[in-house]
């Protein structure tokens, strides 16, 4: 919903930018929420959870797959994983802001135009103040692209098991319980328009 409204560019540039940043950050937080759910499903000793909670998000995904599946490990060379590294750097830039480099370029009318510094893979501005709706789309697509790669190719979980894991209301999530969620059909249309693939997780789409 944040991204839908961010696409409606209004004269209020600050409000438009705030919606774009909120959408982008929500997508970034999804990565951490899913990683924490995966760790909770392992039912590890409570004494170890405090240490694990402080691990980087990528390390949590790696720990889950190594613990859950024998002789499997996270493919850190995959493009989806490389994108996740950039997503983490974007999250850190938002949570811990630092001075940002700005590149100025001369224009034909003797003016100057500022060009934001961008990440190498996703081409998203490193400065949160430069995030717009198109950047929020890229990040949402990349977040679900990583989750699709992780659950489908690395864990080889069926969509119904991913839904059971992510939407479980148990203290220890169990994938085989087959829990799922229903969403408005119009959301699926927007996800398709943004090229966001959520097929790794079983969802139901309803017309309310």
In this prediction, residue 177 carries a pLDDT of 78
Structure confidence by residue, pLDDT tens digits, 60-104: 999 999 999 888 888 888 888 888 888 988 888 888 777 766 666
Q: What would the mean pLDDT of 124-151 be, rounded to a whole number? A: 92
d(CA 73, CA 66): 5
Q: What would the mean pLDDT of 32-58 be, rounded to a whole number? A: 87
- The percentage of residues in the chain with a pLDDT greater than 90, rounded to a whole number, is 47
Q: Is the pLDDT of residue 111 over 80?
A: no
- Give the chain's mean pLDDT: 87
Structure confidence by residue, pLDDT tens digits, 182-197: 999 999 999 999 999 9
Q: Is the pLDDT of residue 176 over 90?
A: no
pLDDT band per the 50, 70, 90 thresholds, residue 9:
low
Paired strand residues for 116 = 102
Specify the higher pLDDT residue, 120 or 143. Answer: 143
Domain ranges of the chain: 2-96+130-206
């Amino acid at each position: 919903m944040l991204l839908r409204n961010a696409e409606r560019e209004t004269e209020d540039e600050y409000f438009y930018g705030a919606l774009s940043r909120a959408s982008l950050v929500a997508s970034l937080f999804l990565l951490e929420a899913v990683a924490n759910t995966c760790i909770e499903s392992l039912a590890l000793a409570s004494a170890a959870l405090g240490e694990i909670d402080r691990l980087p998000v990528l390390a949590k995904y790696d720990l889950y797959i190594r613990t859950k599946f024998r002789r499997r490990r996270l493919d850190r060379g995959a493009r989806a994983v490389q994108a996740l590294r950039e997503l983490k750097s974007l999250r850190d830039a938002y949570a811990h802001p630092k001075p940002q480099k700005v590149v100025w370029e001369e224009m034909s009318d003797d003016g100057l135009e500022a060009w934001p510094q961008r990440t190498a893979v996703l081409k998203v501005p490193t400065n949160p103040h430069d995030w717009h709706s198109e950047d929020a789309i890229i990040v949402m697509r990349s977040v679900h692209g990583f989750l699709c790669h992780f659950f489908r190719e690395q864990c080889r979980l069926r969509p119904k098991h991913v839904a059971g894991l992510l939407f479980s209301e148990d203290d220890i999530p169990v994938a085989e319980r087959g829990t799922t969620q229903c969403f408005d059909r119009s959301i699926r249309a927007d996800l398709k328009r943004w090229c966001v693939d959520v097929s790794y997780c079983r969802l139901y789409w309803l017309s309310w």
